[in-house]
Structure 1
Amino acid sequence: MKKSALRERIILTASLLFYKQGYSNTGINQIIEEADIAKSSLYQYFRSKEDLLIAYLSETGESTIQALTAAAQEHSLPESKILGIFEYLEELMHRKDFYGCHFLNMVYELPHDAERIRKEVTHQKDQLRILFREILDPVGKADVANEVYTLFEGALVGHKIYNENWPITAAKNVIRKLL
């Protein structure tokens, strides 16, 4: 197996486990066993469990922004683009394998002083804020990008708490009023 393919298998296995059962509940030995690799293979690519978490967050961050951008690009008007992102989120929330926001799940679970992880999560969240700002800038509404971002995060948290659709519906209603 190529080295990059082995690295990707490790990240994929860890990603699935971190997302489904949490970082703290996932052990290195479980990752090694489920990836069907030698311990030395894991440590060849990742010096620590935290390094593996950073790789997971980085790759997930890139794919998340790509998916949200693609959802926006299906529409032409800024308001429709923003609502398209929220509709994509709504579709995710109905999937059986949706366990909430990858990034918020990690932040909830880790101590406040986990700076490397918090920095990676902040980077991903900043990319989302930038996406909202870029969508709204052509119509002179870039100044409400942070409000839209806050509605997005609130919808994620509300869904995680209630496991119901109303938080996203409420967020979309507010966006219609804002834009």
Structure 2
Amino acid sequence: MKQKAEPKQRLLDAATELFFKQGYHATGINQVIEEAGVAKASLYMHYPSKEALLLAFLQHRHETWFAGLHAATAKAKSPGKKVLAAFDYLQQKNVEEDFRGCAFLNMLSEVSDKEKEALAIIRSHKNELRSFFTQLLHEASPAVQTHVYLLFESAIVESQLYRDQWPVQEARKMVERLLGQK
């Protein structure tokens, strides 16, 4: 028999699913508690506020998303192939997550300037993604590095909007041409 996770992990798992699928503001604390199967006291023992749970969600999502990205690109032999594998990873995430898009951009639309810690995590995630491409493409010009990052980001948003893979596929083709990978 599979043992249930500890209450703190169950709360994070429930918040992760609900915040990503429904949004932060549309998800109530009582729903998180119910989905996690914990007492209200457990929530406040581990996460003193809904915002603390949001920060934990963002940090957890950052770690798991980048772990997946690194795993998806690890087998590629060249920097250009690693970049293309990153676009393949986007297609995989679209399928797995029903075209929900970027958790960080989704949360960006819900947080205000007052939620500085959440904004800092979102910016940090995007800076790390940009750095990922910059490091892979260190021999390319800064303009190419920036174009690849922006194509990646726009592919995320547009595939969410259209609930289709074509934006990722088209962006990948542009990157292939940009990097001379064909």
TM-score (norm 1): 0.90
Partner of 2:165: 165
**Alpha-carbon distance in 2 for matches of 1:153, 1:14:** 24
CA drift at 1:127:
1.3
**Cα root mean square deviation, aligned:** 1.6
Indicate the residue corresponding to 1:35 in structure 2.
Answer: 36
2:142 equivalent to 1:153: no
Cα distance in 1, alignment partners of residues 79 and 114 from structure 2: 38
Q: Is the 8 A contact 2:7 2:36 kept in 1?
A: no
* In 2, Cα distance between equivalents of 1:127 and 1:148: 14
1:111-132 residue CA offsets vs partner (Å, 9 max, x unmatched):
3443221111111111111211
The answer to whether the 8 Å contact 2:99/2:160 transfers is no
How many corresponding residue pairs? 174
Partner Cα separation in structure 1 for residue 110 and residue 162 of structure 2: 19
| Deviations 1:48-106 (CA, angstroms, capped at 9, x unpaired) | 10110000000110111111111111200111100001011112212364411111111
Instruction: State the one-letter code of the partner of 2:140.
Output: K
In structure 1, runs of 5+ residues without a counterpart are: none
Structure 1 match to 2:11? 10
Gaps of 5+ in 2: none
* 2:161 partner amino acid: I
Query: Comparing both structures, which one devotes a greater share of its residues to helix?
Result: 1
1:126 maps to 2:127: yes
Give the Cα–Cα distance (whole angstroms) in 2 for the partners of residues 67 and 125 of structure 1. Answer: 15
Aligned identity (percent) is 39
